[in-house]
């Protein structure tokens, strides 16, 4: 299932539910077994949410340090076959949050109905 993030400042961001759930939790939104149908980050909540996601990215990168280091004995991995990390997955949402915060706009999300 897809989650769509909205802001009056930038274009929508679409994300798979599994990835969105991890980012919402890092941003301080309580997500249980199921992401709420709709939600909002008020302008006041954007600063702490951004910090929470950035902290989660740092923790993820420290936990995965050295995993992608080049090993001369292994065949090189094609760029399209490389794993997509949390930093790359979070970038569009973080960018939306930062621009929205600067413009004084809230960020909302909703579960997308169709694909």
pLDDT in tens, 55-87: 999 998 888 776 555 556 777 777 777 777 788
Sign of the dihedral through C-alpha 12, 17, 19, 23: positive
Q: What is the pLDDT of residue 30?
A: 87
pTM, entire model:
0.82
Domain edges within the chain: 1-51+104-114
- CB contact at 8 A, 93 and 13: yes
Give the neighbor-by-neighbor strand order of the sheet with 38-41. 13-16, 2-7, 107-111, 38-41
């Amino acid at each position: 299932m897809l989650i769509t993030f909205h802001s009056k400042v930038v274009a929508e961001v679409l994300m798979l539910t599994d990835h969105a759930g991890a980012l919402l939790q890092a941003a301080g939104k309580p997500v249980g077994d199921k992401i709420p149908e709709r939600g909002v980050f008020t302008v006041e909540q954007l600063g702490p949410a951004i910090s929470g996601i950035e902290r989660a990215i740092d923790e993820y990168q420290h936990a995965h340090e050295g995993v992608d280091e080049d090993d001369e004995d292994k065949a090189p991995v094609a760029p399209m076959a490389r794993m997509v990390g949390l930093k790359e997955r979070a970038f569009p949402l973080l960018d939306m949050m930062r621009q929205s915060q600067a413009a004084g706009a809230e960020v909302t999300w909703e579960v997308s109905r169709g694909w």
